[in-house]
C-alpha cells in the first residue's frame, strides 16, 4: 500500500514542502514538513486507510486530499488571527492598541503537536 502512495507522491514537488510516506498499524502515513532553510518547523501527518488507498479513484482523491492537507497546513501556521481566543482587536474602528489587546502568545494547535486529523 505504501508503494502506491509513494508513486502518487512522486508526481508532486513543491519548493516549500517535503513529502514523505511511512507505515503505521492503522495504514500509510503521509507526512508533510517545511523544507530546511525556512527557519520555521512545522509538521503534519495524515493516516491513509486501506479503503482509501484501494479506491479505484485514488489517483484523483489523493490529489484532493494532498491539496486539502496543504491548505490546512498553511492555515494552521497563523500565529495570530481573529479566531484565536483572547484576540480583542475588533478592527479599524476600535480605539485600543493592537499590540496590547492581542494575544500574541504562540498557540499549540493539534497540527503543531503532531496529532492533526486532516480527514474531513
pLDDT tens-digit series, residues 5-60: 999 999 999 999 999 999 999 999 999 999 888 788 889 999 999 999 999 999 99
The CB density around residue 31, as the number of other CB atoms within 10 Å, is 15
For 79-109, the pLDDT digits (tens) are: 877 777 765 555 565 554 444 444 444 444 4
**pTM of the full structure:** 0.65
φ, ψ of residue 98 to 5 degrees: the values are: -60, -50
Amino acid at each position: 500500500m505504501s508503494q502506491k502512495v509513494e508513486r502518487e507522491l512522486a508526481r508532486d514537488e513543491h519548493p516549500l514542502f517535503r513529502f514523505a510516506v511511512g507505515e503505521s498499524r492503522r495504514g500509510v502515513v503521509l507526512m508533510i514538513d517545511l523544507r530546511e532553510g525556512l527557519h520555521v518547523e512545522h509538521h503534519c501527518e495524515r493516516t491513509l486507510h486501506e479503503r482509501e488507498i484501494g479506491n479505484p479513484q485514488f489517483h484523483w482523491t489523493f490529489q484532493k486530499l494532498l491539496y486539502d492537507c496543504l491548505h490546512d497546513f498553511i492555515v494552521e501556521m497563523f500565529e495570530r488571527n481573529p479566531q484565536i481566543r483572547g484576540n480583542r482587536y475588533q478592527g479599524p474602528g476600535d480605539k485600543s492598541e493592537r499590540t496590547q489587546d492581542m494575544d500574541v502568545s504562540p498557540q499549540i494547535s493539534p497540527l503543531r503537536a503532531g496529532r492533526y486529523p486532516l480527514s474531513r
